[in-house]
Structure 1
Amino acid sequence: MTLRLGDIAPDFTQESTEGPIRFHEWAGSNWVILFSHPADFTPVCTTELGLTAKLKDELAKRNAKALAVSVDTLDSHHKWVGDIEETQGVRLNFPILADPDRKVATLYDMIHPNSLANLTVRTVFIIDPDKKIRTTLTYPASTGRNFNELLRVLDSLQLTDEHKVATPGNWQDGDEVVIVPSLTDEAEIKRRFPKGYRALRPYLRLTPQPNK
C-alpha cells in the first residue's frame, strides 16, 4: 500500500510492550511519530530507541508521542527493552509494537524487498491530530536517524499550520520564516506580521518567526 502526504494513516490494533494498541484511539488528539526499525538486538536500532526515550519531554511540549514497530515478537521486544535501558542509560517510556504477522508493516509499506527482504526499513511517519500523514522519511538500515531533525520538522509543521508562513532551508526554531506567496493583502500582512518583513524578491519575503 502506497501512502502519500495528506492520506489518513491506516488504523490497526496490535500488541505492544504497553499492551494492546488501537492506533487511532491511542493517538487521540496528539501528533504521532510512528517509526520502524529493522530488528531487535541490533546496534543502530538500540541507539535510536534510546534517543527517542530521551526526547519524551520535548515531544510532550509539542503534544506528540512516539510509537516504534518492527516484525519481532512481543517477547523479543520485552527482552530487548532491558538492553536498551542498560546501554543507553534511559528508561524506555513509549511502546514498541510487535508485528510478527506484518500487519502494520504491510499497511505502511515498511518492507522494501530490494533493501531488506523480510525486515522493516527505517521508515518514519509524522501524523497529525486529524490522523493525516504529514511527513514520510525512509533511511537505509546502516544509517541511524537524526531525531533532532524529526523535532525540527514537527516544529515546522505546527508553526506553518498556525501561521501563513513556510520555513526555509536549514531553518531552526527562532529563525526567520517566509511569508507564503499566496498572501498578498498588505493589511493582512501587517496584522499577521507586525514586526514587518524584508523582501528579497516579490515571492521571497522574510519575517521574524511570528510566535516568538
Structure 2
Amino acid sequence: MEHTNQELIQFPQLNKPAPNFKARTTHGQVELGDYKGKWLILFSHPADFTPVCTTEFIAFAKHFDKFKKEGAELLGLSIDSYYSHVAWVRNIKEKFGVEIQFPIIEDLSMNVAKAYGMIHPGAADTSAVRATFIIDPEGILRAMVYYPMTNGRSIPEFLRVLRALKTSDTNSVATPEGWQPGDDVIIPPPKDMQAVEERLINEKEAVDWYFCKKQI
C-alpha cells in the first residue's frame, strides 16, 4: 500500500484507554491522571479570538455547574499559547460578562491534538477541529464527536450524552434516540429462546422480543 508524504492521523478508540497527556493550562499543569475518579469532557477549538469558538466557550461556561453536578470536569484545548488563552478568557469576561471557569490547554507542540486525532489536514494543517471527548472516571474513552470548522456544537447534547452514559453504566441498559433523564430506557435483547418467550409474556412494554422499554 502506498502512503503519501502526509503524516498519518491517529485516532483514539472508543472503550479503550484515552491517550495520556501532560500539558500546561490556564490553571497550571494538568495530566489525564488528575481526573481519575471523575468524568472528563475534553474539547478542542480551532483558535482563540474567533466568533464561533467564543459562542461555544460561553455555552460551556453557562453549563459548567450542570457538568459539575454530574461529576464531570471541563477541559478546553487549542493550538494557541498560554498567553493567548489568558487574553481571550479576559476578553470574554469583559465583552460578554461570562467567566470561563475551566482550564484551557496550551498545545503549541500539537502533541495532545495529534494524540486525540484533532488535526485533520483536510480542514486545516495547524488548527484543531471542533472535537469533543467524554472520558469516564477510569480513563476510558466513552464518546467522541467531531464538528467542522464552520459550525458550532450544541453543548446541551454533551450533557445529555454524559447523563445517558451514566444511566447505562448504573442500570445495564441502553437509551433511545433523544433520551432525557426520566424517559424510558431500553432493555438489552434476550440471550436465549427461553428468555425471549419469558419477555413476551412478562414484560408489558415489550413491542417485540428484541424491543422492550422500561422505566427506571
**In structure 2, do the counterparts of structure 1 residues 23 and 15 end up closer, same or farther at CA, with 3 Å as the change threshold?**
same
Please show how residues 92-131 of structure 1 align to structure 2 within 5 Å: 92-131=100-139
**1:207 and 2:202 are equivalent in the alignment:** no
Using the size of structure 1 for normalisation, the TM-score is: 0.90
Does residue 34 of structure 2 align to residue 4 of structure 1?
no
Higher CA-based Rg: 2
Q: Select between 130-139 and 169-178 the one with higher mean Cα deviation.
A: 169-178
Displacement over 3 Å in runs of 4+: 182-186
For residues 96 and 166 of structure 2, what CA distance do their matches in structure 1 show?
30
Q: Which runs of 5+ in 1 are unaligned?
A: 191-195
Residues of 2 paired with 1:176 and 1:94: CA distance?
Answer: 33
Tell me the number of residue pairs that the alignment of Structure 1 and Structure 2 aligns: 201
Distance (whole Å) between structure 2 residues aligned to residue 131 and residue 42 of structure 1 = 31
The match for 2:7 is none
Identity of aligned residues (%): 41
* CA–CA separation in structure 2 for the residues paired with 1:47 and 1:197: 45
Q: Distance in 1 between matches of 2:204 and 2:158?
A: 28
Deviation at 1:50, TM superposition (A): 1.1
TM-score (norm 2): 0.88
Check conservation: 1:47, 1:88, Cα contact below 8 A: no
Q: Give 1:70's aligned residue.
A: 78
Counterpart residue type for residue 157 of structure 1: L
Distance 1:180 1:74 in 2: 46
**Partner SS, residue 21 of structure 1:** strand
User: Once structures 1 and 2 are overlaid, which stretch shifts more, 136-145 or 3-12?
Assistant: 3-12
CA deviations on 1:154-194 (whole Å, 9 max, x unpaired) are: 011000001121111121221111111146787xx99xxxx
Conservation of the 8 A alpha-carbon contact between 1:164 and 1:183: no
Q: Which residue of 1 aligns with 2:53?
A: 45
Structure-1 residue corresponding to 2:5: none
Partner residue, 1:31 = 39
RMSD of aligned C-alpha atoms?
Answer: 1.8
